[in-house]
Structure 1
């Protein structure tokens, strides 16, 4: 039995959506995939295959693997039509900025980086082939041939791209920076190349004949376009989970390792990203085969069905709700930090909305605390001066002089609107429920430590001082952010509470606690939930819209807007026992 649990963990690390009716639509392994493509080739004449690749895909592997079944092939690499790495870098320089972490959201399209003379030469070369296969691959393959005889889209999740950054396997697209620190490679991906590549991807959803899962080296999984799109359509008509991922950090703890039942290779696990559709993956299960795709594709292809008409009208193709875990159990404090106000994130980084958030305490020690807001009578200039002295290593920042520290207990829910100084302290397990722009944390002080790579973590005092709300002092925090839970409905077997959030935040959160079934109405708005108490629950449709769906302790799950009504009840080992869920949705 575990230290933090009185039961064995049953958290599902590899959830999948079972796609019905397309069980035979997948092909595994390069030999079989290449043979599948060859089957489309006519006996005579020119046959063009275009494989559009997401940045980070192993393109040499794609070339060798997908052409292995063909006898005569003219191979064209799309990279050869692009401008030089130096030219591309100069064009995006303004958006990348000199900052180690932050850039400005770039509006570029892939076409802007094409050398028209090289493109014309390639098209002429392709046109000369009168008989046989023309194989075009890479980022921009569809710019050489917009209407190929066969179109394959080779995709990759952003989390996997980041792992390849970390191991120095790859650099950014059109950048000779394989050995650059991962933070800078991530910045270029986040602010430039992923946005550009996603624009290409979205216009190819209904054009691609096949989609290729390239997550694992030399282990491709290919599914035909009809099955792929139908899988996404099926996903938005039932509860589902995205595939979580876990990351160590200098302040990380041991709760995630035990409850999620992770291996012991890492020194700790600081984060568990349980619902971040922009970076998580989504598993579609065709028969016995798992096909992995970026979960953001579901947002791009089915935004209204997933999020609802009102949410789509407000946020476009941006999933606005984020659930993740912050584990400091037997760990350290997070950095002292603040998030930008809406106007600041818009003007400075080109983002449409900001990172309002909240901390829901899944677990914590008896003496756990949160750093939140300023003490009364703080001198602004004096505090900023002390932060800068601490950054230089001249002093340890005297947090007790400036920052409140409040006690917290299990199931407390603390609202943290942007502009509020905060920090989750040691020996806490936080379920962070927040808006989605997730990298815009201005660290003000990092407790005199270096990161796991031995380098000081970047602090952004100059950004922070522009957004700190100096009137959010002790009394304001106590009145607006602490202990805001309010019972709004009681039934025979359960209670509904409004647990937050502050009126400046666009998310509404509700906790349902009890030992019987609870009926929920989505009202055409996506719901995101976590089972915060109890070992197991079953989500069901009163009208049979979807099959019963089982969730376990600490699992985050999504109820799409297409689902109208659903119930949640204790099940399995929790039958007849008290369970609790926390639900978040966009206020309208």
Structure 2
């Protein structure tokens, strides 16, 4: 346990508080409210859903609560047959277990327009009110009295798929979970996001589908918009999620006071593509995809500069890799930008870095190649090991560097790397998290007993063979420079490599530290000390308390803010690590002015 850190102070359910007067409904009251919103013959309600929502359960609940209504499953009524959809997206899915090609389909591509029109005719001719339910309900060419979004965070979808849930309109409940995620990542979620963004202006309500329908929660679209606009104007956290792994450790279980069963390998505590955002109204909490905030307020959240470069996509990811009393990660490499664009259709790649929150005695990081490595010799050794021959002698080819608490290692794409055992890593990286080319996994199988996927040929196509020992030491290890200081604080550039777009700054402090978003989103973690407080110099937002190891986001629109020791952190020397999109001084200043205006 780190010194001075109260056990269990890490908040696993951070929420954004809204006025208790905001309307919210739970359980049976959900259907009473929806029922009252569209009354009379021919009045129609559309419940559009994110793929992964339990459509049969929503339909059953609607029929039970509204027995007088005609309930139509739009998917059964108008979606194309699964076989036809498979033909349309086959080139995106490929035969690979993990990787596909990014799809650019839109939801109408998966529907028969004549059958959608027939659903509209059924609504028009009905002698009672009508409920249309399913992913695509709002595609029906009808002027619905009420439109509801039944939303779903991606991590919840993956959790359900691991438990046997299929992909949209697929009979693949028992299929490999990685293949289900692939279908979602490369096609379904992309289509769903395009559809959802277009749906936002039409919404009347949002339904929380992360829990069973007997305890469903409903908010108005106005409350939904208030929650997102509130988040875009103040510091906030998304909901972290934890996952075990073959190399997982036990540091997080102890420090975060989590259940001690098994191990924990990952904690994703700032991946808005995957994480949830909690809105709290009085005693009721509503769970939404954090991605909704990115779509609704990209300029306020990301800043004009970052939005211009990445669009409505959150480009920075913070997560934890826990190998304390665990094992080595797989030896791996990430694709170059040219490769990920050409082969997978992604617009930027998975540059990253390892920041050591903690390290055991003898901990090390594998990084870069040893001097005079012969590419063909290394390739042969890797292929031989993959085929069941002698194990790959990693240290014959790959450098190892001692890893100590607060060390920071840069890992631009194309660099061979992995974290060793007995380390607690804060991984700071670009968001395209799925593109890890494993080269050697130390002869292990996954927790499911199946060999973990190795993509050796992809890896060999991306290794930068000139990143030898000297280059790695000079460019990627211990690149720390003091850049500023004031009363009670010191600012250091810990330095991701110039090939990477993320800039990182560490602040050590015992007093108030001035910060400024400078027109781009800031992502921070309290890497040392028990507790700090984030404040606005002009009281633009309520003071925001953070605890040790918590990652938090400061939207670009916030501008100036301060951080100082607070509560259990008073009297301690604290440190934050801050990441942002790198920019020139002139551009950042101009963008800050534009955002504030």
Answer yes or no: same fold by TM over 0.5. yes
* Deviation per residue, 1:478-502 (Å, 9 max, x gap): 1100110001112231110000110
* Deviation per residue, 1:271-321 (Å, 9 max, x gap): 000100000000011122111000001000100000100100000011011
Question: What 5-or-longer segments of structure 1 have no aligned partner?
Answer: none
* Number of the residue aligned with 2:203: 208
* Number of the residue aligned with 2:119: 122
CA distance in structure 2 between the aligned counterparts of 1:41 and 1:507, rounded to whole angstroms: 49
* Number of the residue aligned with 2:93: 96
Q: Does residue 495 of structure 1 match 2:490? A: yes
* Number of the residue aligned with 2:333: 338
Shift of 1:474: 0.1
* Deviation per residue, 1:358-389 (Å, 9 max, x gap): 00000001211000000011110110111011
* Number of the residue aligned with 1:349: 344
CA distance in structure 2 between the aligned counterparts of 1:9 and 1:46, rounded to whole angstroms: 54
Q: Does residue 59 of structure 1 match 2:55? A: yes
Given that 1:373 and 1:403 are in contact with CA atoms closer than 8 Å, whether structure 2 keeps it comes out as yes
Indicate the larger mover: 416-425 or 485-494: 485-494
Question: What 5-or-longer segments of structure 2 have no aligned partner?
Answer: 584-597
Given that 1:281 and 1:293 are in contact with CA atoms closer than 8 Å, whether structure 2 keeps it comes out as yes
Shift of 1:345: 0.4
* Number of the residue aligned with 1:18: 17
* Number of the residue aligned with 2:8: 9
* Number of the residue aligned with 1:249: 245
* Number of the residue aligned with 1:417: 412
* Number of the residue aligned with 2:282: 287
* Number of the residue aligned with 2:155: 159
Given that 1:530 and 1:554 are in contact with CA atoms closer than 8 Å, whether structure 2 keeps it comes out as yes
* Number of the residue aligned with 1:527: 522
CA distance in structure 2 between the aligned counterparts of 1:230 and 1:79, rounded to whole angstroms: 31
* Number of the residue aligned with 2:227: 231
Shift of 1:4: 8.2
From 98, 113, 124, the counterpart of 2:110: 113
Given that 1:85 and 1:176 are in contact with CA atoms closer than 8 Å, whether structure 2 keeps it comes out as no
CA distance in structure 1 between the aligned counterparts of 2:345 and 2:237, rounded to whole angstroms: 30
Corresponding residue SS for 1:488: strand
Corresponding residue SS for 2:64: coil
Q: After the TM superposition, which residues 511-522 of structure 1 pair with which residues of structure 2 at under 5 Å, given as runs?
A: 511-522=506-517
CA distance in structure 2 between the aligned counterparts of 1:177 and 1:71, rounded to whole angstroms: 32
Given that 2:4 and 2:530 are in contact with CA atoms closer than 8 Å, whether structure 1 keeps it comes out as no
* Number of the residue aligned with 2:255: 259
What value does the CA root-mean-square deviation take over the aligned residues?
1.3
CA distance in structure 1 between the aligned counterparts of 2:114 and 2:295, rounded to whole angstroms: 33
Q: After the TM superposition, which residues 47-446 of structure 1 pair with which residues of structure 2 at under 5 Å, given as runs?
A: 47-80=43-76, 81-129=78-126, 131-168=127-164, 170-218=165-213, 219-265=215-261, 267-446=262-441
Given that 1:96 and 1:102 are in contact with CA atoms closer than 8 Å, whether structure 2 keeps it comes out as yes
Corresponding residue SS for 2:557: coil
CA distance in structure 2 between the aligned counterparts of 1:158 and 1:258, rounded to whole angstroms: 27
Corresponding residue SS for 1:292: strand
Shift of 1:41: 3.2
Q: When the two structures are superposed, what TM-score results if normalisation uses the length of structure 2?
A: 0.96
CA distance in structure 2 between the aligned counterparts of 1:41 and 1:346, rounded to whole angstroms: 47
CA distance in structure 1 between the aligned counterparts of 2:114 and 2:381, rounded to whole angstroms: 57
Shift of 1:454: 0.5
Given that 2:42 and 2:125 are in contact with CA atoms closer than 8 Å, whether structure 1 keeps it comes out as no
CA distance in structure 2 between the aligned counterparts of 1:545 and 1:361, rounded to whole angstroms: 34
From 448, 461, 464, the counterpart of 2:459: 464
CA distance in structure 2 between the aligned counterparts of 1:543 and 1:114, rounded to whole angstroms: 52
Given that 1:337 and 1:443 are in contact with CA atoms closer than 8 Å, whether structure 2 keeps it comes out as yes
Q: Does residue 510 of structure 1 match 2:508? A: no
> Residues 135, 91 of structure 1: CA spacing in aligned structure 2 closer, same or farther, 3 A cutoff?
same
Given that 1:86 and 1:175 are in contact with CA atoms closer than 8 Å, whether structure 2 keeps it comes out as no
* Deviation per residue, 1:444-497 (Å, 9 max, x gap): 000011111001100001101111000000000011001100011122311100
Shift of 1:11: 0.2
Given that 1:540 and 1:566 are in contact with CA atoms closer than 8 Å, whether structure 2 keeps it comes out as yes
CA distance in structure 2 between the aligned counterparts of 1:399 and 1:505, rounded to whole angstroms: 26
CA distance in structure 1 between the aligned counterparts of 2:84 and 2:233, rounded to whole angstroms: 45
* Deviation per residue, 1:242-264 (Å, 9 max, x gap): 00000000000000111111112
Q: Does residue 582 of structure 1 match 2:580? A: no
CA distance in structure 2 between the aligned counterparts of 1:187 and 1:41, rounded to whole angstroms: 39
Indicate the larger mover: 44-53 or 408-417: 44-53
Indicate the larger mover: 136-145 or 526-535: 136-145
* Deviation per residue, 1:35-60 (Å, 9 max, x gap): 10122233x43210110011111112
> Residues 460, 271 of structure 1: CA spacing in aligned structure 2 closer, same or farther, 3 A cutoff?
same
Corresponding residue SS for 2:285: strand
Q: Work out the number of aligned pairs and report it.
A: 581
Corresponding residue SS for 1:337: strand
> Residues 146, 557 of structure 1: CA spacing in aligned structure 2 closer, same or farther, 3 A cutoff?
farther
CA distance in structure 1 between the aligned counterparts of 2:499 and 2:170, rounded to whole angstroms: 40
* Deviation per residue, 1:131-168 (Å, 9 max, x gap): 32111001111112443111111011100100111010
Corresponding residue SS for 1:75: strand
> Residues 6, 521 of structure 1: CA spacing in aligned structure 2 closer, same or farther, 3 A cutoff?
closer
Corresponding residue SS for 2:286: strand
Shift of 1:395: 1.1
Shift of 1:3: 8.2
